């Protein structure tokens, strides 16, 4: 486990690492770049780079942290990857159930696998389930799988936002995160695409979190992501879902 720079969480917990590309949102995967860097540094666990791998030695890490913490589960992987075993998934969710003081944010691009897993299992009360929605063709269908799962919080990570998503069906969705892409090959995100989502969230009274512009600013100019910042319409949007775990103000 370690602190993370991801704006909407506190720490990352990676009981698995590695993944494989499934859609356009994977094209410039930050985790793949990081994994290869860690491999070159000979970091333990990354001997095979970005190849999917289960790491049982990391399973019990949350048990040793008493302070309530918001964890992003598998920031370097996908918990519902095709090579994930059901046995290991059960072990991960057992740890989640044993640590009710923590909140676990689980994000996937494989919602059909997630829905299949929870057909005969209950989602723990401290687990938030989310899907990536980067475009219409791959992203929007994922929402339908998520909507059918009974979870305390269901969220959309619309990052990288690659096109105007048009009218969204946000029924049953509790939280929406939007962000642009970073890195040298980042694709632009237009301000009107973001505002389209923000206005729909506002109308539906769904908490909206604007993560960042990335390397393309609101003015469509490419510069450092730090320079572009996180402001949308002159303000920071750091809204969280109900039940809100108010960790960011500790």
Tens of pLDDT, residue by residue over 94-139, are 999 999 999 999 999 999 999 999 999 999 999 999 999 999 999 9
* Rounded Cα–Cα distance for residues 117 and 216 (Å): 37
**For range 220-239, the mean pLDDT:** 95
Total domain count, the chain: 1
Say if 90 falls within a structural domain: yes
Say if 164 falls within a structural domain: yes
Number of CB atoms found within 10 A of residue 74's CB: 25
Say if 20 falls within a structural domain: yes
Say if 234 falls within a structural domain: no
pLDDT recorded at residue 2: 73
pLDDT recorded at residue 249: 38
pLDDT recorded at residue 1: 72
Number of CB atoms found within 10 A of residue 100's CB: 11
Angle at the Cα of 61 from the Cα atoms of 58 and 65, rounded to 5 degrees: 170
Examine the pLDDT at 235 and tell me if it is beyond 90: yes
Say if 250 falls within a structural domain: no
Strand, coil or helix: what is 104?
Answer: strand
* Rounded Cα–Cα distance for residues 73 and 111 (Å): 15
Using left for φ > 0, alpha for ψ between -120 and 50, and beta otherwise, residue 45 falls in: left
Say if 219 falls within a structural domain: yes
Examine the pLDDT at 34 and tell me if it is beyond 50: yes
* CA distances for 91 relative to 9, 57, 94, 109, angstroms: 23, 12, 5, 21
* Rounded Cα–Cα distance for residues 58 and 21 (Å): 24
The number of residues making up the chain comes to 250
Examine the pLDDT at 247 and tell me if it is beyond 70: no
Say if 244 falls within a structural domain: no
Tokens describing residue 197 = 């989502």
* Rounded Cα–Cα distance for residues 133 and 142 (Å): 7
The order of strands in the sheet holding 70-73 is 2-3, 11-13, 70-73, 103-108, 127-132, 153-158, 175-179, 208-212
pLDDT recorded at residue 243: 53
Structural domain including 29 reads 2-228
pLDDT tens digits, one per residue of 135-183 = 999 999 999 999 999 999 999 999 999 999 999 999 999 999 999 999 9
Instruction: Supply the DSSP symbol for 199.
Output: H
**Is 16 exposed, middle or buried, given 0-12, 13-18 or 19+ CB atoms closer than 10 A?**
buried
Say if 165 falls within a structural domain: yes
* CA distances for 169 relative to 107, 111, 160, 173, 233, angstroms: 19, 17, 19, 9, 24
């Amino acid at each position: 486990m370690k602190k993370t720079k991801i704006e909407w969480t506190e720490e990352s917990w990676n009981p698995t690492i590695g993944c494989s590309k499934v859609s356009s949102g994977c094209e410039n995967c930050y985790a793949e770049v990081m994994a290869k860097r860690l491999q070159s540094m000979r970091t333990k666990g990354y001997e095979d780079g970005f190849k999917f791998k289960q790491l049982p030695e990391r399973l019990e890490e949350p048990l040793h942290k008493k302070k309530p913490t918001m964890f992003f589960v598998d920031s370097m992987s996908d918990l519902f990857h095709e090579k994930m075993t059901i046995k290991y998934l059960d072990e991960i969710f057992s740890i989640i159930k044993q640590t009710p003081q923590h909140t676990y944010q689980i994000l996937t691009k494989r919602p059909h696998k997630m829905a299949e897993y929870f057909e005969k299992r209950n989602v723990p009360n401290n687990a938030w389930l989310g899907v990536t929605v980067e475009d219409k063709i791959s992203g929007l269908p994922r929402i339908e799988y998520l909507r059918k799962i009974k979870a305390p919080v269901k969220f959309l990570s619309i990052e990288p936002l690659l096109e105007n998503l048009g009218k969204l069906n946000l029924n049953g969705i509790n939280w929406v995160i939007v962000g642009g892409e970073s890195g040298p090959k980042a694709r632009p995100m237009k301000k009107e695409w973001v505002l389209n989502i923000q206005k729909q969230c506002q109308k539906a009274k769904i908490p909206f979190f604007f993560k960042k512009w990335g390397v393309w600013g609101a003015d469509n100019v490419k510069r450092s992501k730090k320079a572009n910042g996180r402001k949308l319409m002159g303000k920071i949007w750091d809204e969280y879902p109900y039940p809100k775990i108010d960790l960011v103000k500790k």
